[in-house]
Amino acid sequence: MQFELKIPFFGFESLKSMKLTKIDDVFMQLDNADEEKPSFTLINPFVLKNYEIEIPTAVKNLLEINENSNILIYNIVVIQKPLDQSAINFAAPLIFNTDNQTMAQVILEGKFAKDHGIAERICDFMNKNKN
């Protein structure tokens, strides 16, 4: 599914349209729809931890999100070898409104910023889930 980027990614201000492709139940691929690069691997944060965020009102308005909207929330992963050493940016989730194919990246603030790091390793959650 293709999405119009309503707020530019920090460092990638020229991006306008992104293509979201499912890899499996945990990972997604996000590609620049207009050129070959950049490409991002995303992860469903809800499979790893209790992930609570608040979408700012301005972003809700920009993406036309209401209580009936179908939204997806994913986080960017910096893939490493081995995979369990990969780092997840929980502090800047990507919000997708699948009803109107719009998206934005949100930088969490306040309580939510304290709860979610910018480079949390996948292995840290694997170890917690084993206990």
Return d(Cα 39, Cα 80) in angstroms, integer: 15
> What integer pLDDT is reported at residue 114 of this predicted model?
62
> Which has more pLDDT, 128 or 97?
97
Residue 71 amino acid letter: I
Return d(Cα 112, Cα 27) in angstroms, integer: 23
By residue range, what is the domain housing residue 70?
2-130
Q: In total, how many domains does the chain have? A: 1
* Residue 84: closest CA among 30, 42, 125: 125
> What integer pLDDT is reported at residue 131 of this predicted model?
46
CATH of the domain at 30: 2.30.290.10
Residue 88 amino acid letter: I
- Confidence class of residue 111 from pLDDT cuts 50, 70 and 90? low
Please state whether beta strands 102-105 and 2-7 pair in parallel, antiparallel, or not at all (unpaired): parallel
Residue 118, Ramachandran bin (φ over 0: left; ψ between -120 and 50: alpha; else beta)? alpha
> What integer pLDDT is reported at residue 108 of this predicted model?
82
pTM, entire model: 0.87
> What integer pLDDT is reported at residue 129 of this predicted model?
52
Summarised one tens digit per residue, pLDDT across range 25-75 is 899 999 999 887 899 999 999 998 888 888 999 999 999 999 999 999 999
Task: Quote the mean pLDDT of the chain.
Answer: 88
Q: In Å, how far from its chain's centre is CA 23? A: 14
- Host H or E run for residue 57: helix 57-63
Query: Which of 6-10, 31-35, 67-71, 104-108 is predicted with the least confidence, judged by mean pLDDT?
Result: 6-10
Q: By percentage, how much of the chain surpasses pLDDT 70? A: 91
Q: What is the DSSP letter of 53?
A: -
